[in-house]
């Protein structure tokens, strides 16, 4: 808290100036003008955010942050390893959320749990006043991706169990380490500002961030600094190369009957599921080449001698822009209704499981972030790191290029023709409601399949630890930039309002009646959780998760083709 001459506290001045407009809504130009005026008046009276004195010390503060975070490498690595060991699927991240919430409360954050009606979702807050900077990252993982880390061949910890086959165990380590370092500096220097931290629950189902927006989690946020695991230290601005999507479950209701004795008395919901799949595949030829669509039979009935009275099929409909996504979903719905008519069944329910807008990232934030990325640089990889990376790439038939040794360039805005990727992330919904940019940090290996056990191999190794530390330094520097330079916040909002949203306005895909699918994955986690508990990381007893598992890093496939670490083998798993 800064105290001005005569005892006037700077935060009180900001409150007085904003009181006439109530709680500020950051998308309101009037409110943003009032807040900017408040900052300007405070700047004239004291040493607040954005003062000449602070700007003169910014480079020195960044050096201090880098040194402080480097000194917390073990802290960062422990978070990476702990969340890796929990290995929880979307909506079932109970151990992960409990661990992170406790950690944040121990470090002075106030945490609200169960936000947006989602048991594993929460929002943590520290600080006061403007700017309010929001840090988010995902925490869920991938089915059937269990993998012993540090072993460059397929060796599940628990056969058939989920695992961090994308690397979402590392993002919280980046965000928390960065936030705590900046928090300590703010406390020491009396800097004003608020830090918000939240988890991307069930990102692999793209199933929560639209509900966060509906819950107005970001209404008073100035900017969002998102973080996601990658294989380089990078960021970008403009439209993302990928898609947006609607994920929907189509459930048909028929009539049961004895499939051998009186099948004519039944109406098969499974037939409707099969016909919807067939019908969609015929229609696929006549869809835009930019689209992606895929499905699984979620419920095909109970047993062959009973005509299925209930059956469900789960579709992802992906396209490049809001109108095309909406239209693609409408086509899917019409195919489902046709399948019901052909089979004499009823389309009982069309449930939205998840949605994602195509993302658009902020140029001002990305450029500030990239300046810090250039200061930080990539980790210093050892020969062991590179050997492990090349062996992992070889294991999945990829190019043996090893880990990145040169920084990616700052990717500018893409043209529509350049947006050729098929992935989606529901950070897109947030990016259309508040200025947002994503930091990609180098905790994983290039050239892997994605959503695969191979993508878990490095995620509790020195590669993941080093990448998370470099990411935390870059994120902390960017967070500090926006804490002490309010002009950057205004510039980010100018881009957001006058360029990004000039012709496109956000309309959610979720309907008012839709609710988060919080029961998803409960049965799978119930089947595996007790066995997985045996392998939860215990940092009080072991220096690292590799140490606990008895893995000598790096462990490569043996010359005779076996994949083993003594008591662990690809034939039998842990025993």
Q: Is the pLDDT of residue 403 over 80?
A: yes
Residue 441, Cβ density class (10 Å: 0-12 exposed, 13-18 middle, ≥19 buried)? buried
Structure tokens at 432: 């259309």
What pLDDT was estimated at residue 312?
98
The pLDDT confidence band at residue 151, using thresholds 50, 70 and 90, is: very high
Structure-model confidence comparison of residues 68 and 411, the more confident one: 68
Mean pLDDT to the nearest integer, 89-100 = 98
Mean pLDDT to the nearest integer, 102-126 = 98
Of 22-26, 315-319, 341-345, 485-489, which gets the smallest average pLDDT?
22-26
Mean pLDDT to the nearest integer, 237-241 = 93
CA distances for 376 relative to 174, 380, 458, 487, 500, angstroms? 14, 11, 22, 23, 29
Structure tokens at 37: 């005026």
Question: Cβ(355)–Cβ(246) under 8 Å?
Answer: yes
Mean pLDDT to the nearest integer, 269-286 = 97
- Beta strand 436-442 with 223-230 is parallel
Give the ranges where 190-242 is alpha helix by DSSP (H).
Answer: 209-214
Average pLDDT, the chain: 91
What pLDDT was estimated at residue 31?
52
Choose the most confident range, by mean pLDDT, from 44-48, 51-55, 281-285, 416-420.
281-285
Q: Is the pLDDT of residue 5 over 80?
A: no
Between CA 23 and CA 6 the distance in angstroms is 27
What pLDDT was estimated at residue 517?
98
What pLDDT was estimated at residue 570?
57
Mean pLDDT to the nearest integer, 544-554 = 97
Mean pLDDT to the nearest integer, 88-112 = 98
Q: Which residues contact 37 (CB under 8 A, 6 or more apart)?
A: 17
φ/ψ bin of 100: left (φ > 0), alpha (ψ from -120 to 50), beta (otherwise): alpha
What pLDDT was estimated at residue 435?
98
Which tens digits make up the pLDDT trace of 374-396? 999 999 999 999 999 999 999 99
Between CA 528 and CA 145 the distance in angstroms is 12
What pLDDT was estimated at residue 569?
55
What pLDDT was estimated at residue 47?
44
**% the chain with pLDDT above 70:** 90
Which tens digits make up the pLDDT trace of 289-299? 999 999 999 99
Structure tokens at 319: 């396209």
Which tens digits make up the pLDDT trace of 334-370? 999 999 999 999 999 999 999 999 999 999 999 999 9
Between CA 23 and CA 111 the distance in angstroms is 21
What pLDDT was estimated at residue 44?
40
Q: Which residues contact 71 (CB under 8 A, 6 or more apart)?
A: none
What pLDDT was estimated at residue 15?
33
Give the H or E element holding residue 228: strand 223-230
**% the chain with pLDDT above 90:** 85
What pLDDT was estimated at residue 411?
87
To the nearest 10 degrees (0 to 180), the angle between helices 171-189 and 462-484 is: 40
Q: Is the pLDDT of residue 133 over 60?
A: yes
Q: Is the pLDDT of residue 9 over 60?
A: no
Between CA 89 and CA 524 the distance in angstroms is 8
What pLDDT was estimated at residue 420?
82
């Amino acid at each position: 808290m800064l105290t001005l001459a005569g005892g006037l506290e700077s935060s009180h001045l900001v409150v007085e100036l904003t009181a006439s407009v109530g709680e500020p809504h950051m998308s309101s130009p009037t409110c943003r003008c009032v807040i900017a005026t408040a900052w300007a008046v405070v700047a004239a009276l004291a040493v607040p955010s954005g003062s000449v004195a602070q700007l003169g010390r910014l480079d020195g503060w960044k050096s201090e942050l880098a040194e402080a975070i480097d000194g917390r490498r073990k802290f960062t690595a422990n978070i990476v390893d702990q969340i890796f060991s929990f290995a929880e699927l979307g909506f079932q991240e109970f151990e992960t959320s409990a661990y992170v919430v406790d950690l944040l409360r121990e470090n002075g954050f106030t945490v609200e749990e169960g936000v947006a009606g989602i048991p594993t979702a929460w929002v943590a807050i520290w600080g006061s006043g403007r700017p309010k900077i929001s840090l988010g990252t995902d925490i869920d993982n991938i089915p059937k991706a269990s993998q012993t880390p540090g072993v460059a061949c397929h060796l599940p910890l628990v056969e058939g169990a989920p695992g961090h086959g994308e690397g979402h165990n590392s993002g919280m380590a980046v965000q928390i380490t960065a936030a705590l370092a900046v928090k300590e500096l703010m406390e020491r220097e009396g800097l004003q500002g608020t830090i918000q931290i939240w988890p991307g629950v069930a990102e692999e189902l793209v199933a929560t961030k639209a509900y966060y927006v509906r819950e107005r989690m970001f209404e008073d946020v100035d900017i969002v600094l998102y973080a996601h695991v990658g294989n380089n230290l990078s960021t970008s601005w403009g439209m993302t190369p990928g898609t947006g999507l609607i994920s929907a479950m189509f459930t048909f209701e028929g009539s049961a009957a004895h499939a051998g004795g009186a099948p004519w008395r039944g109406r098969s919901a499974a037939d409707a599921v099969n016909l919807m799949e067939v019908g969609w595949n015929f229609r696929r030829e006549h869809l835009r080449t930019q689209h992606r669509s895929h499905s699984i039979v979620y419920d095909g009935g109970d047993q062959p001698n009973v005509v299925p009275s209930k059956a469900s099929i789960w579709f992802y409909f992906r396209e490049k822009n809001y109108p095309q996504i909406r239209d693609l979903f409408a086509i899917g719905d019409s195919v489902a209704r046709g399948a019901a008519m052909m089979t004499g069944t009823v389309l009982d329910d069309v449930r939205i499981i998840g949605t994602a807008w195509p993302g658009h990232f902020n140029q001002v934030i990305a450029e500030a972030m990239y300046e810090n990325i250039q200061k930080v640089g990539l980790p210093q990889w050892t020969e062991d790191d590179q050997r492990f990376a090349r062996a992992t790439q070889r294991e999945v038939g990829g190019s043996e290029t090893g880990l990145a040794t040169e920084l990616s360039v700052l990717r500018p805005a893409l043209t529509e023709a350049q947006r050729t990727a098929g992935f989606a992330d529901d950070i897109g919904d947030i990016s259309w409601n508040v200025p947002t940019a994503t930091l990609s940090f180098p905790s994983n290996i290039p050239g892997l399949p994605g959503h695969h056990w191979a993508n878990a191999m490095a995620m509790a190794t020195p590669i993941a630890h080093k990448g998370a530390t470099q990411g935390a330094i870059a994120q902390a520097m960017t967070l500090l930039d926006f804490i002490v330079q309010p002009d950057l916040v205004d510039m980010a909002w100018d881009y957001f309002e006058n360029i990004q949203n000039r012709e496109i306005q956000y309309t959610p895909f979720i309907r008012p009646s839709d609710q988060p699918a919080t029961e998803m994955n409960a049965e799978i986690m119930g089947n595996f959780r007790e066995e997985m508990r045996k392998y939860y990381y215990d940092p009080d007893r072991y220096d690292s998760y590799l140490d606990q598992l008895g893995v000598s890093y790096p462990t490569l496939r043996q010359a005779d083709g076996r994949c083993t670490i003594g008591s662990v083998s690809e034939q039998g798993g842990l025993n």
